[in-house]
Amino acid sequence: MIFITPNGSTSTLVTTWILGAVAALLSISMLPVHANDLSDCNASFYGGIYPEFVNTKLSNDTHPLCMDGFAVMYSGVSRTPLWSAEYLTRARLNAAKEIDRDDSFHEESRLPKSIRASVADYSGSGYDRGHLAPNADMATRSQQYDSFSLANIAPQSPRNNRYVWRNIESATRYLTQQYGEVYTVTGVAFTNKKTVQIDGQVLVPSHFFKAVYIPAINEAGVYYAPNDESERIEVISIDELAEKTGIDVLPILDTRTKAQAFGLPLKAGERSALPESYNEAPTWMLFVLAIIDWIMAQLKA
């Protein structure tokens, strides 16, 4: 395994950057034809390379959308996003803490009306309107508004949304504070033989997933949970996710990183799978950040 050590961090980071740059250049010729539609939000993807469909059937009637603060691949078949991608940093999350939640679910006007999900579709369905790119990650009002676009929403089991998913979103933000930056791709899967449909239009995913890549340690893992009331969740690798869903969410990563599932915490504050020596510095950093947050709160009081 490749870890960044105190006496080798610079060379390792440089090597990782060079390999990423080379892979990005090699991948340009293989990008789908609608790649330019996401060119304005390349920053949401590690190396500027966005997810690829291993199962090409998933690409039918897809619509890439560059939102403010994240990117979405919307499916006109399911009337849900297939994935949403974000680049998270400490600065972004600290700014997001200053914005109170303002629910503003709305149709996505950039999509043809014939394939849009509507607010009425979810009314009385028994499912929550589940964010893929979460509101709590959004650092501006504009970003927050875009996060409530129904192009970023999928039908989600209430218990999954309010407990399991809330915990892993918090854990992802914790990892961002711990390591400085994180790339994440959140998505849905339709693996059941018979897919449930609400209001005769919107398909209900069988699973939700959140892939997390931490550049500082070159490690990645995926939260993968059934869309039900069981509160089950597992952590799998990028390769395992591709097998289950037909989507390679981080195609630019090296073979080892994609094949091995990093031990992601299931709740904010839990230690990751790195040895104690690798957690020590980030933990101290979090302690300092907590003090700063407290001081800021006192100044505002």
Residue 207 among the catalytic residues: no
Q: E strand or H helix at 118, and its extent?
A: none
Asked whether 79 and 85 are in contact (CB, 8 A), the reply is no
3-state secondary structure of 132: coil
Q: Does an H or E element contain 82, and which?
A: strand 80-89
Q: What are phi and psi of 114, to 5 degrees?
A: -70, -20
Question: How far is residue 291's CA from residue 77's CA, in Å, rounded to a whole number?
Answer: 48
DSSP code for 30: G
User: Which position among 34, 63, 106, 131 bears the catalytic label?
Assistant: 131
Region label for 188, one of left (φ > 0), alpha (ψ between -120 and 50) or beta (otherwise): beta
Q: Tokens representing 112? A: 């043809």
How far, in Å, CA of 90 to CA of 173, rounded?
8
Residue type for position 194: K
* 152 conformational bin, left if phi > 0, alpha if psi -120 to 50, beta if neither: alpha
Q: Which tokens go with 88? A: 């998270």
Query: 267: exposed, middle or buried (C-beta count within 10 Å: 0-12, 13-18, 19+)?
Result: exposed
Tell me the C-alpha distance between 23 and 232, whole Å: 35
CA–centroid distance for 138 within its chain:
13
Residues designated catalytic: 131
